């Protein structure tokens, strides 16, 4: 199962967050309960430039064998202790295309689903294509935020520049499909991606929402 956390902190806890982002990987790597994982920074997801970054919200996504055990792990408890609020989503892959850091981390296990879904997109932008990519983002972002069926969406990233993504929650698979394949701005971005090849690596994954706790916007 996959679990995603996003924690909102106060300004006084920024030093903790920076240290945790650097050190959590060492704890998670040696845990027999954890497979693939990524610690995440977040942003508004409007321009995907450094000015989007939100230093008061941080995240973690992980493939784990035992959700309850991981929820009480050292890493999660330390974030919880230093946070003002916590969002947690337990999710199961419906589909996944592409790679993340050279891996294909999400193996689809759900065949039919008509409830809430979460979409995770992630891309490594080819350095010479950054400016072209940034210019193409605003119309897609405006289209996303006005799309019926969207519950919430934030930007995610592993680094300020070049590694970008989105985490979005949708009322239904149909709402997500309408945005992805019928929205003019998004379809134009897909065409531009094929033309300019601005990603050196990309991933798009959909997940069935098994459980949500808290609000991603808090």
Any bridge partners for residue 3, and if so which?
62, 90
User: In which domain, by residue range, is 103 found?
Assistant: 2-213
Instruction: Give the pLDDT band of residue 185 (cuts 50, 70, 90).
Output: very low
Q: What is the total count of domains within the chain?
A: 1
Number of helical H runs and strand E runs in the chain: 6, 8
User: In 3D, which of 133, 117, 148, 147 has the Cα closest to residue 190?
Assistant: 133
Q: Which H or E run contains 113? A: none
Residues 65-105 pLDDT 10s: 999 999 999 999 999 999 999 999 999 999 998 888 889 99
Alpha carbons 147 and 32: distance in angstroms, whole number? 40
User: In 3D, which of 190, 180, 163, 208 has the Cα closest to residue 42?
Assistant: 163
Q: Indicate whether 115 belongs to any domain.
A: yes
Query: What does the chain come to in residues?
Result: 218
* CATH code assigned at 120: 3.30.70.100
Per DSSP, 49 falls in state S
Q: Indicate whether 169 belongs to any domain.
A: yes
Q: Indicate whether 218 belongs to any domain.
A: no
Q: Indicate whether 47 belongs to any domain.
A: yes
Residues 97-146 pLDDT 10s: 888 888 999 999 998 999 999 999 887 765 445 555 555 554 455 556 66
């Amino acid at each position: 199962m996959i679990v995603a956390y996003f924690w909102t902190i106060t300004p006084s806890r920024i030093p903790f967050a920076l240290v945790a982002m650097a050190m959590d990987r060492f704890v998670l790597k040696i845990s027999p309960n954890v497979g693939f994982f990524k610690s995440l920074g977040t942003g508004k997801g409007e321009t995907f430039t450094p000015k989007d970054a939100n230093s008061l919200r941080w995240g973690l996504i992980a493939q784990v064998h035992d959700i309850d055990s991981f929820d009480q792990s050292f890493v999660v408890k330390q974030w919880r202790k230093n946070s003002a609020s916590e969002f947690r989503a337990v999710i199961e892959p419906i589909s996944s295309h592409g790679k993340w850091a050279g891996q294909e981390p999400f193996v689809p296990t759900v065949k039919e689903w008509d409830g809430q879904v979460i979409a995770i997109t992630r891309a490594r932008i080819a350095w010479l294509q950054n400016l072209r990519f940034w210019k193409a983002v605003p119309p897609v972002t405006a289209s996303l935020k006005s799309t019926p069926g969207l519950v919430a969406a934030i930007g995610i990233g592993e680094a300020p520049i070049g590694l970008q993504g989105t985490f979005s929650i949708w009322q239904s698979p149909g709402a997500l499909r309408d945005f992805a394949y019928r929205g003019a701005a998004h379809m134009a971005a897909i065409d531009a991606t094929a033309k300019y090849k601005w990603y050196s690596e990309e991933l798009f994954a959909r997940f069935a929402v098994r459980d949500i706790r808290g609000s991603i916007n808090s």
